[in-house]
Amino acid sequence: MTHFIAGETGRSRLHEELLARIDTVIDRSARVRGTFVSTADNGIRIDGRFKGRICLGPGSVILVQHGAVVEESELEADIILVAGYVRANVTARTYFEANARAEVHGHLACLGKMKTHPSTMLVASVALAPRD
């Protein structure tokens, strides 16, 4: 499994807790097109290809693995972790992280904290919430 701490080789306790929330997986061999909406604290891991809309409720996490491709999409969740390719409108309500292998294109709205690795390819307009 790919590590999601920018610049580190291990995973933190937080990352282990986030991975434990994953209850839906788009397999590496799958190509999925459609809409997934939930008001629960779901977690989705994308290993394959996705095109469409994912909108998850409070406590939710979207994880885009290395090798995964998300195109022409909208992603919204509390926490979004990216290690693959994303071309989408992305809204992370509390935390966004992209690791060294991540490539993000489109629009990124981060209402909480944001962390990227220096090698992350970020070709996006970025809107950050003002700090208090």
Q: What is the pLDDT of residue 16?
A: 78
For 69-113, write each residue's pLDDT tens digit.
Answer: 999 999 999 999 999 999 999 999 999 999 999 999 999 999 999
Residue 6 has pLDDT above 60, yes or no: no
pTM here is 0.88
Q: Which residues have a Cβ under 8 Å from the Cβ of 33 and sit 6 or more positions away? A: 50, 51, 52
pLDDT over 90 percentage in the chain: 77
Indicate the number of domains in the chain: 1
Residue 8 has pLDDT above 70, yes or no: no
- Asked whether residue 45 is assigned to any structural domain, the reply reads yes
- Asked whether residue 82 is assigned to any structural domain, the reply reads yes
- Asked whether residue 21 is assigned to any structural domain, the reply reads yes
Residue 27 has pLDDT above 70, yes or no: yes
Q: Mean per-residue pLDDT for 45-53?
A: 97
- Asked whether residue 27 is assigned to any structural domain, the reply reads yes
- Asked whether residue 69 is assigned to any structural domain, the reply reads yes
Q: What is the pLDDT of residue 53?
A: 98
The range of the structural domain enclosing residue 63 comes to 13-128
- Asked whether residue 83 is assigned to any structural domain, the reply reads yes
Q: What is the pLDDT of residue 40?
A: 85
Q: Mean per-residue pLDDT for 34-38?
A: 95
- Ranges of beta strands (E only) in 41-120 are 43-46, 49-55, 61-64, 69-82, 85-98, 103-110, 113-116
- Asked whether residue 70 is assigned to any structural domain, the reply reads yes
- Asked whether residue 107 is assigned to any structural domain, the reply reads yes
